[in-house]
Structure 1
Amino acid sequence: MKHLNMAQEATRTEHGRATAEWIAERSRRAVEHYATEGFQRESARGRVVPYPDPAAPDFVKQVSEVADSSRMTDLESVARELPASFGSRMLRVTQRRVGVVGGREITDLVEGTADIRRLGVDSNSEHVKELDVLLVALPVVGREPPLTADELDVLARRIIPAAREFGIPTVGMTLSDPWRVDATRKIAGTVDWLLTTDPEGPNRYDKHMTTSGRVMVVDSHFNPLRFSPVGRERHRAGGALFSGRLPSTAQPERLRAWRSILSGLRRHDTKLTLASSAVMNGVPEKSRGLFPSEYLNFLTYQPDDELRSRVLRLFDLHVLAHLQPGAGHAHPLETLEALASGGVCMSTYSVAMNNDYPHVLLPDGSDDAELEVALLGHDRPHLRRLQMEGVRRAFARQTADRLMSEILRQTGLEDTPRKTVVLWRANEDDSDSELFASQVVTPDVDLRRVGMHEPAPGDAVIDIRVGRQTTGHYYLAQDLINAFRMASVSTVCMSVDAPESRVFEIVSDHECKEVDVVASWIGADEAQFDGTFVMDPSAIQPGGCSYAPAGLGRPKLLSVIVPVYNNGPYLVRKCLESLRRSTAFPDMEIILVDDGSTSPETRAIVREMAGLWDNVRTYLFPPGGSGSASRPRNKGLEMASTPWVTYLDPDNEGVGDGYAALLRICQETGVDFAIGDMLRYAKTRTLTRNVATLRSAIRTNEHGVGEVPHDALTRIDFQPMSIQALVADTQWLKSLHLEQPVGALGQDSLFFQQMLHGARTVALVDKPIHTYYGEVAGSMVNTVTPTFFRKYIPLEEARSRWLREHDLFDEYVRRRMRRYVTVWFLPKFNKAVSLDDREEAFELLRSLCGTYGLELRFAADGVTVTLD
């Protein structure tokens, strides 16, 4: 409670207001302690100070003396001046009558997509009889009260059976699993279909369904009538907003991460608005979570339900605190709604958050958060591009019309997926052909290039015309299509000259110029609003380094080799975003080597980066791919032209200013390479202590520099280390003539072993250098089929040859390989390979182990494998 008491003292001594700087100065040591691993130990023992106890008798009184309830009152007053909505030209997908009973949030979600009939649990059979489909909505956790046992009983015993009696399909839906498993199970046992955002939904609920195979996992969605960026440029609140669910004592990692983000923002003097009515009202509910007392003077209540979506638009930056890192289901409603409203999101980590939203910022600690918010503050165009990326993704994929279409398809009321036919009018001089060829749109869009005066086919709904001088990005067409999802107008215009005050607004006096892009609605139905909707012009503006750090044009010192394959969004918002935060960015030559991506979006991104950033070089292999990062890494090293070199994968991030620290010590000492530690995010956050391991074999001086003994590899038991956590002398590395085996997985482990064996001197730096995301969806390392084992064979064949050449083979087998097979390959085989693939996978694994003279056998169960 001491921080709360100090905040109250500050209130008395500083004219009725406690400042974060004053509190932070008085409590610096305690705050730093509780932002470290020590905090986790304390929380595990139940001593989670300095979080005030919500069950304390004077909790509400003490909080009310420090918190700022007027903050949200002022924000709501401003939010009322924003439009609730500009309608949507593409939201309605059917005229069918869809009844919705249950949760308010889901009822609001599907509003406008069909003829929605809101039913109460007291509705009679006559109300049900008029429907084409009945949607049973379970309330959203943290936003509305759960259904009572009596209400669930009425649904299960009266309303749903009434629909079945009339032959009306019933669909249960939940957006909050796995928290309300019991309620969902009860509904699952009565409905025809169950839609859930929980990836484990089929495993949890299929056995409860009357018909197997009818549990469907869907993405989260939002309704553009409630959440959109329209009118957001009229007012800016400044600072950052948090309005989600608070972490609890059972989530120490989430508490640590959230608190460290707040600390980084305050270091940059970012004004915070932390909205939590649960803390303000003092109800001691376990689900309410904890609130750090040094930030209580930024606390206010959550906005009114009717104004919440408009309050979101007032902020450029949103802070989120999602589930524990290992959660495969991120409950990302707050994220999606903030992105749709035009906000940049900074969040604590979860597996699903990293997989689903690569453009959401996931800082590791306060340093990362401070560096990122500084970058956003210095580079307004970069901030706007990041905002638009969130808007683009949300409106391109997750608007409520897609959800309603999915419901109609599952119930057999709609046969085929909808296609939006969009025409692109060709310029008479063909000057638009290259721009059109670069366009990437979602699968539900049929984009056709037609002649300037060619009649429009009857199924077309949008007509796009670009000027003769127009240049643009690959997402130009998608942004124009999205505009009709957020505004019911006849015309959309994108203009490079449009002032910010007019963007996301409907204007009656806008005159389009030759370089503008105009999209017209040519489909049926009338527009709700007259005038032209002015869309954000990011798609026709340059997108490079608007903010040029000092020295950007000087000779480069560090080549960063980035192997790319079908992961363009991660490349831009993970890898490159983290490099831009570094003070070494002006000294970097960034080499993007595309391994033959088959994703048009990825290849478009790689090409654009070379034209937009003057320190980016690219190389694109023909489409097809080699099967691993080896080929592009080999090519990147060949291309490297600077004194020093490192590697960073597209879906990983540099941590803080780690690369700058490594580069500096390399320049000062002339070592062969400098290395730091690696952060690994998977189900938990762990620190791979490369430096501690190497210190067991290498004696270093006060600067962390030491000579590498000839037996360093055996001393560290051949422990591989991330080549993304080091900076090496380029000419020295090239002189080793190393080639990473093409098509192999884990190839960088051999590469590091060869580097260490060939090094004379190294520098050890006690800090994390990069973040490795260990459970990226679609990653080969996380997809265990026979191909997984097949890709390790060329690696181990190459490694065994190299080990024999250097008389290290026997030591490697004894010190590492047996354990490596036991802790890596066998769990992958025994736990993740399907029964159908076991025979093929076993033969491959046996061949792999045979390279080292190791024998495998099936256990007595005939299914699992052990090492003899």
Structure 2
Amino acid sequence: MSLDVPATPTAELSSRLRQLELASSQLDQVHAGRLAAAEYLHGADLAGPHPSTPFAHGAAGADQLLRQLRPVLAALPEGEEGISRPRTGLRIALIAERHLVHTLEGAAELVHLAPTAWQGALDAAPAERPDLLVVAPVQAGRRDAWKGAGDPGTYVRRRITGSIIPAFRGVGIPVVFWGTQESRFYEDWVDVAQQADHVLTVAEELVERYAADCPRARTVEVMRPAVNPLLHSPIGTRPASADLITYAGTWHAKLFPQRREYATALLEGVIRSGRRLLLFDPRSQAATRDDRFSYPRGFTPYLASHVGPKKLIALQRASDAAIALNSTVASQTACSPTALTLQACGTAVLSTYNQGLNSEHPHVHLAQSAEDVASHLETLPLEELRRIQAAGLRTAFLQDHVVDRLHDLASVAEVDARSALPAEPRVLAVAEQVTPALARQLQRQSIGPVELVAWDQAPARAGAVDMLLPVSPGRSYGPEYAADHLAAFAYQSASVTTKLDGPAESADQWAHRRLDGDSAALELTAWWRPEPALLASRERLRAARREFAVYAIDHGEHGPADGVLARSAEPRERDDDVSAVAVEVRRRAEQLGLRLTVIVPVYNNGSHLRHKGFASLRRSALFSQMQVLLIDDGSTDAVTVTTVDELAAEHPNVTAYHFAPGGSGSASRPRNLGIQLTATEYVAYLDPDDEMVCGGLARLVEELDAHPEADLAMGNVLRWSTRRLRIDHHQELREVFGGSDDDAARTLVLPEDSLARWGFRSLRIHAAVIRTSWLQPLDLQMPLGALGQDNYLSQQMLHHARRIRTVDVDVNAYYSEVSGSAVNAISPRYFAKYLPLEQDRVAWLREQGLLEDYRQTRLEGYVVNWYLKKLSLISSEQWREAAEHIAEILALYEDGPWTRPEIDQFLTDLRTAVENG
């Protein structure tokens, strides 16, 4: 076959080639930062648009898409001062970056200093001088007044340390250094901190370092960033421009390699989802070539021209979701301030990993992969989106309000904030009929128990109530009901708030806006410091509604009197009936054709359950075939109990079981019961504060379907701590038991001595799907109240298994640094909870004839690298008690002889501690 190729290109082909050459040249210039992306994209017609690009939404470029949003932005009302959080009377002299200036504006009187204009603040009469001087790391500052201050050797920096701070201290004005910078930039600003009377840092891991380096400081404490309702506000944001997602910030191609890696997956996931994406970064579009700040080519179509801070915040308020990138990963207190301010805007947050966000803000979606982000956006129901946004508003305004932060600042500096805040808001609920059910619901509020009285008792409380909640036995109230109202009083100025009726689809048109008081149901309202006359009777308060503009929050946290919220509040004095639940589990499995049971042990971690563990299952393509068993180990937290019941009520393939309140001390009891209840062909484990990812469960089920001889299928684990670590169980197992990449289809046949050959290492059971007909007859009971039981179970399963499949797919994301989790709360009790585990393990190893092998290959390394490493984290006051528990564990293994010198030294140290009393 031959092709006729013209000797000279046709005019049409020549024109097309010139277009391609020009486009390629321009794209190179975009990548190099010499040409604005929007300028190039205006004529880009050589390839079909991706569904998420501006072209697919009727815009020639990102800037035109931005112009299309002008009506939405113009309709947004201004933010308001919260009626419960009046501005302070503080006068603060300030040297700071613009974002901190904007956060503090309106909450205090700011005196902006400049390198050549600061003396006037001290020349004023003593009563008119600032109360304190706050200095924070600054690169440019307000109106670029402090440009160059980030360099310790510059003139402007020397003005801070050599002139301004000494002058303020000289007249008795306290100086506060607020370290808002990344830990890696500590050295750049420690010289300023050393001049301060008080040192504050957003990073708890820097407290000891500051204390050692700053002997002048009287105080060294953690102080997190804040949110300001004048800027960051949900008012007027429903319905929002639902499919817009924004990110504003510099790419930093080289400075933060972790952030760049994780951010790439996040942005690619947004693009895959088809959502409209807008990126704002003037440095990436600068006219000068600087590859340090250039976005990769794949993201340049989404770059829009730079906008000012007010317009950017309006865009974030108008968006249902937006992006925050974390430069710091390994901190429980320092995270991207944007992650906090977005929540205050009522915006759901997509973020890269940060320990503190994962621990304290489980409703923030942390990107695992592009596939994960796309699936999250594509499958997130509107009701769940509104739950996420409501959780963000509660967190932001009840924990990080700027007025609260300034009161903390005044307390540290020992100055008068000149405004009053109730230490604990006095909340009173009042009902026409006080019923036990209603009283229980109000006792279970997340802000603390709320007293309930009848209307005839209300007048006696006049003047002693901060928030009044009229309630009715005709409704039920969730544990976050009072918190939602309390948060709303912190971000808007109306003295009456209300919840809405109906689902999100109908309630959205009224949410986060003012309503006529007549349209608000009295039993869904809250009143901030009502006049005494209004407490006279229900009729008086009801009639007064029309005199007020009422702020509508949303439709969550209440329901019918006989609904799930009411049932969750019923007292539980005994365990649920196992037999009855087993019958129901089997019936549902058969009726719905369910194939995989996922056992989720739960204890006082309902927010993580809803937004982490369960949300990851809901995203799975296999979800409709799963039977999710939520086994509550006796939670005492009302939010957790309610969450378990709500999820079971909302999804027919979810079953809840509750043990009586109190807890057993570990996940063993609920996991054991979960296996007993399992009625499907396959079973898997998931902890509520971890996630299933990348379609891994579905892939493992496919593997077992195709290989009925296999007892279980195992995938890989993503472990998040100070970084993301991939635990490659697939490769590890194949290396030990004879599989290879060239023989990936082979089922691994394990020898009789498989556990010894494996070296008694752990496998994460959460990355496995197990055949129920193999596992249930083994009756492997996890030791009650023990820690480490899941790793022990993996050893037992590997010993008993004869054929397994491995798949090179990530299945489970394990967050190892969750603040307050059982494995991270190090105390003597932590080591005591390993004693029942080791007692059980010693007995089992002896029974299986494996005890000596374990001693020779695993025991001492485990003692040194686990127990003694954890012991090094404990306080000196608790060391002996914890050490004695470890000694008890060692005695189970016949107390030596030990070959590792670390163990002998530990035993010597313990004997010395005992002898010295």
TM-score w.r.t. length of structure 1: 0.84
* SS of the residue 2:370 aligns to: helix
Q: Report the CA distance between 1:818 and its aligned residue.
A: 3.0
CA distance in structure 1 between the partners assigned to 2:724 and 2:466 by the alignment = 48
Contact 1:106 1:137 in 2 (8 A): no
Query: What residue in structure 1 maps to residue 79 of structure 2?
Result: 85
Q: Which amino acid aligns with 1:110?
A: L
Counterparts of residues 95-174 of structure 1 (less than 5 Å): 95-120=89-114, 121-124=117-120, 125-127=122-124, 129=126, 130-131=128-129, 133-139=131-137, 148=149, 149-174=154-179
State the alpha-carbon separation in 2 of the partners of residues 457 and 161 from structure 1: 51
Alignment of structure 1 residues 302-451 onto 2, 5 Å = 302-323=306-327, 325-326=329-330, 330-376=334-380, 379-413=381-415, 418-428=423-433, 430=435, 432-441=438-447, 447-451=450-454
Other-structure match for 1:851: 892
For the 8 Å contact 1:141–1:179, the answer to whether it is kept is no
Residues 573 and 553 of structure 1: CA distance in aligned 2, closer, same or farther (over 3 Å): farther
Structure 1 residue aligned with 2:558: 540
Q: Deviation of residue 783 (structure 1)?
A: 4.0
Single out whichever of 681-690 and 615-624 deviates more from structure 2. 615-624
Does the CA-based 8 Å contact 1:88-1:484 persist in structure 2?
yes
Aligned partners of 1:826 and 1:865 also within 8 Å:
no
The alignment covers a number of residue pairs equal to: 810
Structure 2 residue 678 is matched with structure 1 residue 680 = no
Change in Cα spacing, 1:247 to 1:797, as seen in structure 2 (3 Å) is: farther
CA-CA distance at 1:764 after TM superposition: 2.0
CA deviation string 1:643-695 (max 9, x = no partner): 32211111110012111222233344333222211111111212112122222
Alpha-carbon contact 1:221-1:403 (below 8 Å) kept: yes
Instruction: Give the counterpart letter for 2:819 in structure 1.
Output: A
Distance 1:383 1:389 in 2: 10
Q: How does 1:138-217 map to 2 (within 5 A)?
A: 138-139=136-137, 148=149, 149-178=154-183, 180-182=185-187, 184-211=189-216, 214-217=219-222
2:519 alignment partner, one of 506, 511, 525? 511
Structure 1 counterpart of 2:720, one-letter code: Y
1:476 and 2:514 matched: no
1:3-22 equivalence runs, <5 A: none
The alpha carbon displacement at 1:232 in A equals 1.2
Instruction: Give the alignment partner of residue 792 of structure 1, picking from 826, 834, 839.
Output: 834
Amino acid at match of 1:723: I
With 325-334 and 806-815 compared, the bigger mean Cα shift is at 325-334
The CA deviation string for residues 799-831 of structure 1, in whole angstroms up to 9 with x for no partner, is 1221111111222222222333343334334x4
Partners of 2:691 and 2:812 within 8 A in 1: yes
Q: For residue 768 of structure 1, report the CA deviation from its aligned partner.
A: 1.2
- Alpha-carbon deviation of 1:52? 6.9
CA drift at 1:472: 3.5
Pick aligned residue for 1:629 from 650, 667, 670: 667
Answer yes or no: is the 8 Å Cα contact 2:507–2:554 preserved in 1: no
Q: 1:609 to 1:142 in 2, by over 3 A?
A: farther
* Amino acid across the alignment from 2:686: L
User: 1:95: Cα distance to partner?
Assistant: 3.6
The range that moved more, 386-395 or 141-150, is 141-150
- C-alpha displacement of 1:15: 14
CA RMSD of aligned residues (A): 3.7
Q: Is the 8 A contact 1:222 1:398 kept in 2?
A: yes
1:43 paired residue number: none
Matched, 1:725 2:767: yes
Contact 2:635 2:641 in 1 (8 A): yes
- Paired with 1:860 and 1:721, the residues of 2 have a C-alpha distance of 29
Task: Find the aligned partners of 2:646 and 2:627 in 1 and give their Cα distance.
Answer: 16
Equivalent of residue 590 in structure 1, options 603, 606, 628 = 628
Q: Tell whether the 8 Å contact from 2:443 to 2:450 is kept in structure 1 after alignment.
A: no
Change beyond 3 A, Cα 1:62–1:600 = closer
SS of match in other structure, 1:789: helix
When residues 706 and 669 of structure 1 are mapped into structure 2, their CA distance, relative to the original with a 3 A threshold, is: same
CA separation of 1:712/1:859 partners in 2, compared to 1, >3 Å: closer, same or farther? closer
Where in structure 2 are the equivalents of 1:190-269 lying within 5 Å? 190-211=195-216, 214-233=219-238, 235-236=240-241, 238-269=243-274
Contact 1:560 1:591 in 2 (8 A): yes
2:731 alignment partner, SS class: helix
**Conservation of the 8 A alpha-carbon contact between 1:176 and 1:331:** no
1:133-156 superposed Cα distances (whole Å, 9 cap, x missing partner): 314141566986656344444444
Structure 2 residue runs without a partner (length 5+): 1-14, 42-60, 533-544, 565-588, 911-917
Return the alpha-carbon distance in structure 2 between the equivalents of residues 153 and 681 of structure 1: 41
Helix, strand or coil at the partner of 2:509? helix
The structure having more radius of gyration, on CA atoms, is 2
- Is the contact made by 1:574 and 1:652 (CA closer than 8 Å) also made in structure 2? yes
**Range that drifts further, 312-321 or 90-99:** 90-99
Question: 1:757-798, CA deviations, whole angstroms, 9 ceiling, x for partnerless residues?
Answer: 222432222211111112221234334443333332322222
The separation in 2 between residues aligned to 1:862 and 1:137, in whole angstroms, is: 46
Q: 1:127 to 1:656 in 2, by over 3 A?
A: farther
Aligned to 1:646, the other structure's residue is in SS state strand
Q: How does 1:480-499 map to 2 (within 5 A)?
A: 480-497=485-502, 499=507
- Tell me the TM-score normalized by structure 2: 0.80
1:53–1:633 distance in 2 versus 1, CA, 3 Å: farther
Preserved contact between residue 80 and residue 493 of structure 2 (Cα < 8 Å): yes
Distance 2:279 2:267 in 1: 10
Between the aligned partners of 2:676 and 2:446, the Cα distance in structure 1 is: 31
Write the distance in 2 (CA, Å) between the matches of 1:756 and 1:111. Answer: 61
In the other structure, the counterpart of 1:650 is 688
> 1:521 aligns to what?
528
CA contact (8 A) 2:197 2:218 kept: no
Conservation of the 8 A alpha-carbon contact between 1:698 and 1:706: yes
Asked whether 1:705 is paired with 2:747, we answer yes
CA contact (8 A) 1:593 1:636 kept: yes
CA deviations 1:679-727 (Å, max 9, x no partner) are: 1111121211212222245467875534433222222222220111112
Identity %: 28
1:838 shift after superposition? 3.9
CA 1:763/1:73 → structure 2, altered by over 3 Å: closer, same or farther?
Answer: same
Distance 1:841 1:535, change over 3 A: closer
Local SS of the residue matching 2:319: coil
Residue number in structure 2 paired with 1:531: 549
The Cα shift of 1:347 comes to: 1.6
Q: 1:858 to 1:184 in 2, by over 3 A?
A: same
Q: Write out aligned runs for 1:758-777 (5 A).
A: 758-777=800-819
Aligned equivalent of 1:638: 676
Distance 1:804 1:627 in 2: 26
